[in-house]
Structure 1
Amino acid sequence: MAVTIENLVTSGTFSLDGGTWEVDNNVWIVGNDEECVIIDSPHDAAAIIHQVRGRKVLAILLTHAHNDHIGAARQVAQAVGAAIYLNSEDLILWDQVYPDIQPDRQHVDGDLFEVGGATLRAIHTPGHSPGSTCFYLESEKTVFTGDTLFHGGPGATGRSYSDYPTILASIRERLLTLPADTVVRTGHGDNTTIAAERETLAKISQ
């Protein structure tokens, strides 16, 4: 049975540095009819749990720890009995949302997650946040980039714990080296491709 990729969009707010913004977030569910992993858990726990449809959830993989990507994570984890994975460099952001509890486990660059006969590989891509991580599903020619790479270029770096030169280096060295036809599935908005974003980044100096 081939692995499937499902997209759920949830809506809520993103808050950091004293500001709050309305946002729509992508939730990605990768698996088959029996098991899956959830990539990010924003805003609406009930909607995410419903999308799981009773399957065994092997892991909740967080691309980073801004509140609009983790706000429903604890509730979802408790409902489906899955461990939450986060890169430890983002604990400073996690603690702003969940000061009294830590993620269940840490993921690091190169970690492999098996689901439905396919393998996701963690790619640490700091810049949007210190622990930002993408998940590469080579068999399906796709990469889940969180807020590191969007349709049209890099994610935002204008707030605390972010850095523009770092995100550019991460994208150029860790993502644009993937095959050109790789589909980029983002944390917000539309899909793109590595080929398209190579063209975008070629126009950006530094």
Structure 2
Amino acid sequence: MRDLDETDVHILQLLSDDARRPFSDISEAVGLSAPAVSDRIDRLREEGIIRRFTLDLDQSKLAGGTPVLVRLHVVPEHVDTVRNSLREADAVEHLFVSVDGEVTFHARFDDGTIRHALDEFVDFSLVREYDVQLVESAEWTPTVNGTEFALECAECGNSVTSEGESARIGGTLYHFCCSSCLGRFEDRYDRLEAGANTVDS
């Protein structure tokens, strides 16, 4: 498996500035042909580094309610439940969970309905305390500087380093931290596929 190199990082920086940038512009900036840039972007998508191309809307130019920053001090065993509930809420624009289990999110609510809106997607029996602040302005400037590949092994969940292995199994690309994990995964896949074929026969 190849490491994320400087060209990959440069491509990611260009796409983070403008996700609709033509391949011809990117190729000129990084010194590769447009088909080579396309291949690299396809690989970055396949490996899950690029998940989707999206819009960066300036909400201040749109009618959209009051921007707030909400901090929830969640009962530790319920952090995942609260996070999943917030992830589904249309009003929530950014969501963060700290290592100590504090859940913070940026959202927009209609004027005067903040507590009511929170009640719709936060179960306050799972929250110790909370704080709501009005947001004057917000900026979101993700960066790819200083990043490295951080893939998880499909077999054991450990981080995959440059010494790991990748394999296409059943049409899907998987990453493994070592050849042992790759072997175990392939064996299990083969057994499951053989069992499925037996049932179909």
Q: Does the pair score TM above 0.5?
A: no
TM-score (norm 1): 0.24
Higher RCO (C-alpha 8 Å, min separation 6): 2
**Structure 1 or 2: more strand by fraction:** 1
Larger Rg, first or second structure (1 or 2): 2
TM-score (norm 2): 0.24
